[in-house]
Amino acid sequence: MSQKKISIRIDGALVDAREGQTILQAAREGGKTIPTLCDLDGITPVGGCRICMVEVEGIDRALPACTSPVQEGMSVKTTTPRLTQHRRLTVELLLVERNHICAVCVSNGHCELQTMATNLGVSTVRLAYNFPKLETDLSHPKYVLDHNRCILCTRCVRVCAELEGAHVWNLFSRGINTRLTADLNGKWGDSKGCTGCGKCVQACPTGALSEKGRAVEEMVKQNERISALAQRRGAEA
Amino acid sequence: MKKLKVATVWLDGCSGCHMSLLDMDAAVISLASKIELVYGPLVDAQDFPEGVDVTLVEGAVSSQDDLNKIQKIRQRTAILVSMGDCAVTGNVPAMRNGIPVQRLLQRVYVEGAIEGKGVPTDGVPALLKQARPVREFVKVDLCLPGCPPPAKTISGVIAAVLDGRKPDTNLTVKFG
Amino acid sequence: MQTLEQPRLDIGEQAFVDQVIADRKGRPGALLGILEAVQEHHPNKYLPMATLDYIASKTGVPLSRVFSVATFYSLFNLKPQGDNTICICRGTACHTRGSRNLLQSARLSLGLGLDDISEEDKILLTTSDGKFTVRTVACFGQCALAPVVEVNQKIRGHVNERTLQREIETIERESE
């Protein structure tokens, strides 16, 4: 790689980075952890979930680490009281938006949202639960889509478009009414484009997409396989 | 030494949190000499007493009776603890929240019944429109999520109060 | 909701869509312009599912993306629109100046009923004779004129129930 080398500080420590990298990429290569939800190594970052927000010296507002490029001499703080407060509220907002009933979820114990709440010490929410009435799509022969558990991270949308090239998924409508949709709001099982590869299921951070027939706690996602595949494709290209 | 007055309450939940409470094994022996269990499904008291130090609440607020109870309990309790996911988030009882109450009762007690079809009205409290977490009705001092929360977490809270410590709000907690 | 089980586009409509697509070939963001032109061309000012399907197949834009764009912008309609559109602003300023009453009175006088009077952010109702559509919008940016109602693309400010009623009567008289 001929990219220009630059160095930045992350939580005080010097980290080597290359021009064009994001703060998150540089942090990971330098062995630093920044919490993320919508990010998945190997697919394009979108900066949607706002969990990876970091503070950069000289800039008042926090920046998303997954989409902000590194700059020479940058000093990044990944954990401050303000950021922790912010991340907690973000998780609380995700928890109240839909019906996350961890106790009866296929992904209980393997869910990134649940783990994020635990790591941030979220023991309750400060807002009223929304309790929306949402559907479950059981039309696909192998997989299930449960809107109750979806956090709209769009990992499935991106993995389907970028790695499988099928473009089955997208979000439709807007605001609180935003939903994941297959094709023209059809049933997943009716989708002409879906190859049934299951990449979206493995990429999904919660129990929103799961394999059929899994009972509570049985759905363990293998999103590292998505990242490995993306890496192989990158090497081939 | 004056014993710590502890009460437990069972609202709309499966009693699993009470099971977890009993699951503290030998720890119950050392606790028993220091606390007095003044109300709850584990004791006989009919009326919620005054001046309770700690009340552990299991279950979501789901009926008019739950609501009356929890308001009275809040007035008579120093430290109110939401014990378990139902009390903290609504959890499984809240899965009915998208269905109108009349529709729900009709489905369960009429369409779903094999014999004795009919919605019960005598001696059962009216359901609220939705089952919602305790915190949305009264002030809650501490939340212990989990389905159920581990026995150690529950006994840890009682032990902290006994020691005169503030129960640690940064415990490792997990929904589900 | 909507499915694809609708008649295919007729030949004339297909030719129009093909032309619209050809005119915009290679332009970035062409999809928005295509959707707008095709909707404007439809006698009921909307985008039927079969049309979206056809646009997707002709442009090579994935179905899910076409649907995403068509539902994101409030400009696009997925249901047939009436001959006349009454668009009532439900923004904060108009709300405080009584736009809810305007909405209700418009619904009642056009026989649209007050069912599903939920606090949904977007309401879109068409009379069964296809003459009127009543819809809401988040804000016209004309807050000084609150409450604002757009009647057939013309903005009316400081509307009250009486003047709105008069507008509806005028349209009804002219269409006879």
User: Tokens 């499988």 — which residue?
Assistant: A164
B111 domain residue, yes or no: no
B11-30 in b/e burial notation, b at 16+ Cβ within 10 A? bbbbebbbebbeebeebeee
Whether C7 has a pLDDT exceeding 60, the answer reads no
pLDDT tens sequence across C85-129 = 999 999 999 999 999 999 999 999 999 888 765 555 678 889 999
Percent of chain A with pLDDT over 90: 95
Closest CA to B16 of B86, B111, B106: B86
Q: What is the mean pLDDT of residues A60-73?
A: 96
Residues 6+ positions from B161 with CB-CB distance below 8 Å: B4, B53, B54, B79, B167
Q: Are residues C43 and C102 in the same domain?
A: no
Q: What is the mean pLDDT of chain C?
A: 89
Residues C119, C56 share a domain: no
Cα separation, B6 vs A104, whole angstroms: 30
Q: Is residue B58 part of a domain?
A: yes
Q: Give the torsion sign (CA, C56, C60, C63, C69).
A: negative
Question: Among residues C39, C72, C105, which one ends one of the domains?
Answer: C72
CA distances from B126 to B41, B95, B129 (A): 21, 18, 9
Tell me, yes or no, whether C156 lies in a domain. yes
Contact residues on chain A for B95, CB-CB shorter than 8 A: 99, 101
Interface check A24 vs C, CB under 8 A: no
Provide the token pair at A43: 């697919």
Please confirm whether the linkage preceding C7 is cis (ω < 30° from 0). Answer: no
Are C91 and C170 found together in one domain?
A: yes
Asked if A193 and C62 come within 8 Å (Cβ–Cβ), the reply is yes
Query: What value does the mean pLDDT of chain A take?
Result: 95
Does B77 fall in a domain? yes
Whether C92 and C148 map to the same domain: the answer is yes
Residue of A nearest to C49 (CA): A184
> Given C49, C72, C95, which residue is the final one in a domain?
C72
Identify residue C89 by its one-letter amino acid code.
C
Determine contact, residues A193/A168, Cβ cutoff 8 Å. yes
Q: Residue C124: what pLDDT? A: 84
Rounded CA separation B101/A225 (Å): 45
Q: pLDDT, tens digit, for every residue of A187-211?
A: 999 999 999 999 999 999 999 999 9
Reference C134, options C95, C74, C89; nearest CA is C89
Backbone angles phi, psi at B20, to 5 degrees: -65, -40
Domains of chain A: 5-79 (3.10.20.740), 103-236 (3.30.70.20)
The pLDDT value recorded for residue C2 is: 46
In a domain, B176, yes or no: no
Decide if A117 and B175 are in contact by the 8 Å CB cutoff.
yes
Is B10 part of any domain? yes
Residue at B112 is within a domain: no
The CATH number of residue B23's host domain is 3.40.50.700
Q: Which residues of A touch C52 (CB under 8 A)?
A: 184
CB nearest to B95's CB, from A101, A118, A128: A101
Q: Residue B47 falls within a domain, yes or no? A: yes
Domain count, chain B: 1
Chains that touch A (3 or more CB pairs under 8 A): B, C
| A4 secondary structure, DSSP code | P
Please report whether residue C162 resides in a domain. Answer: yes
Nearest Cα to Cα of residue C49 among C2, C13, C11: C2
ipTM for the predicted complex comes to 0.92
Its domain, for residue B138, covers: 4-94+128-162
Q: Do C64 and A173 touch (CB under 8 A)?
A: no
Q: How large is the C-alpha radius of gyration of chain B?
A: 17
In a domain, B66, yes or no: yes
Q: SS3 of A64, please?
A: strand
How far is the CA of C17 from the CAs of A64, C31, C77, in angstroms?
A: 41, 12, 17
* Res B165: pLDDT: 85
Length reported for chain A = 237
Instruction: Select the residue of A108, A117, A129 nearest B132 (Cβ to Cβ).
Output: A129
Q: Note the pLDDT tens digit of each residue in C29-68.
A: 899 999 999 999 999 999 999 999 999 999 999 999 999 9
User: Would you give per-residue pLDDT tens digits along chain B (176 residues)?
Assistant: 689 999 999 999 999 999 999 998 888 888 889 999 999 999 999 999 999 999 999 999 999 999 999 999 999 999 999 999 999 999 999 999 999 999 999 999 999 999 989 999 899 999 999 999 999 999 999 999 999 999 999 998 999 989 888 877 556 789 99
| Domain hosting residue C146, numbered range | 84-175
Angle at CA A87, nearest 5°, toward B146 and A77? 130
**DSSP characters for C10-31?**
PHHHHHHHHHHHHHTTT-TTHH
Residue C62 shares a structural domain with residue C131: no
CATH of the domain at C170: 3.40.30.10
Measuring CA to CA, which residue among A10, A4, A47, A50 is closest to residue A31?
Answer: A10
Question: Do chain B and A touch: 3 or more Cβ pairs under 8 angstroms?
Answer: yes
Q: How many domains does chain C have?
A: 2
Residues C94 and C68 in one domain: no
The DSSP bridge pattern shows strands A5-10 and A13-18 to be antiparallel
Q: Is residue C1 part of a domain?
A: no
Asked whether residue C141 falls in the same domain as residue C161, the answer is yes
C46 with C107, same domain: the answer is no
Which pairing describes strands A143-146 and A136-137: parallel, antiparallel, or unpaired?
Answer: antiparallel
Determine the pLDDT at residue B27.
86
Measured between alpha carbons, how far is A237 from C135 in angstroms, rounded to an integer? 50
Residues 6+ apart with CB under 8 A from A45: A22, A24, A38, A39, A66, A67
- Per-residue confidence band for A52, with pLDDT thresholds at 50, 70 and 90: very high
Query: For residue B54, with 0-12 CB atoms within 10 Å meaning exposed, 13-18 middle and 19 or more buried, which class applies?
Result: buried
